[in-house]
Structure 1
Amino acid sequence: MKKILQYACIGIGYGSFFYLMILLYRQGITPTRESILATLFMSALIGISAILFDIEKLNFLSALIIHFICTLSLAIGIMFYNEWADDIMHDIEFWLIFIIIYVSVWAISCISNSLRVGKINRALSKKRAKKGA
């Protein structure tokens, strides 16, 4: 349960940031209580769906494809719920924004994970050095 909550919170963090970026650059979208709550809920679900990458039976590519489809489905669903989608399947701007956001989140996640692993490795090296001294 703790892991699910962690993934949901991470998803909310990313989703909130990108929701604000979309509001910054897309004119005509007025945030409402419902659209904000729906976006936060969608972001939490996308974050939770990242648990797919922890399933050992799934290879990375399979997990990525399933996660991409889940994320896309949730994004399209939220677009319809918030009444932001006219003809979303033919809206080049939607697809460009979606791909840019998806790739950006992956890049940020990879950098974050790399920094975290580096920090852990440095701490382990210091601990080993103290034991050896």
Structure 2
Amino acid sequence: MNKGLRYAMRGTGYGAVAYLVMMAIKPSYAATSLSAIVSLLVMSAAIGLISMIFDSERLNFLAALSLHFVGTLLLVVGRQVYVDGEQFPIVGFLVAYILIYVVVWAVVALNQHLRVTEINRAIVKRNKNKA
């Protein structure tokens, strides 16, 4: 499968889960329009594509993280303006954005750790079987 498509699909998955969690915390998010849902999926896919920046060998991790943070923020603000118009509480929005960003990063890091651990176990098991 195309690398960009994989990243977009992964981003859509994370975005959908994050939105479901937001709906559980604040049930008013459940009453949304089709355009709000579609814009969420498009935004999440775009964030997934932005995540390809971490595969770049030209940038160190901190530079890639900074660009990803700002790019994601711009996409989220764009979606917020599209869905809710120009009126939204900026401080509350930024606090929520940072909290969600950190939680999603923690989930991504845990997911990567679990996958690497599983791969390492499979390698150890294979090497034991060869000996």
Q: Please, what TM-score do these two structures have when normalized by structure 1?
A: 0.91
Q: Which residue of 2 aligns with 1:15?
A: 15
The total of aligned residue pairs comes to: 130
When residues 56 and 111 of structure 1 are mapped into structure 2, their CA distance, relative to the original with a 3 A threshold, is: same
How big is the shift at 1:10?
0.9
How big is the shift at 1:25?
3.0
Pairs within 5 Å for 1:1-133: 2-26=2-26, 28-29=28-29, 30-83=31-84, 85-88=86-89, 91-132=90-131
Q: Please, what TM-score do these two structures have when normalized by structure 2?
A: 0.92
SS of alignment partner, residue 82 of structure 1? helix
Unpaired stretches in structure 1, ≥5 consecutive residues: none
SS of alignment partner, residue 56 of structure 1? coil
How big is the shift at 1:84?
5.6
When residues 85 and 98 of structure 1 are mapped into structure 2, their CA distance, relative to the original with a 3 A threshold, is: farther
Tell me, in whole angstroms, the C-alpha distance in 1 between the residues paired with 2:67 and 2:100.
Answer: 17
Identity %: 39
Q: Which ranges of 4 or more aligned residues in structure 1 deviate by more than 4 Å?
A: none
Unpaired stretches in structure 2, ≥5 consecutive residues: none
Q: Compute the RMSD of aligned alpha carbons.
A: 1.5
When residues 102 and 12 of structure 1 are mapped into structure 2, their CA distance, relative to the original with a 3 A threshold, is: same
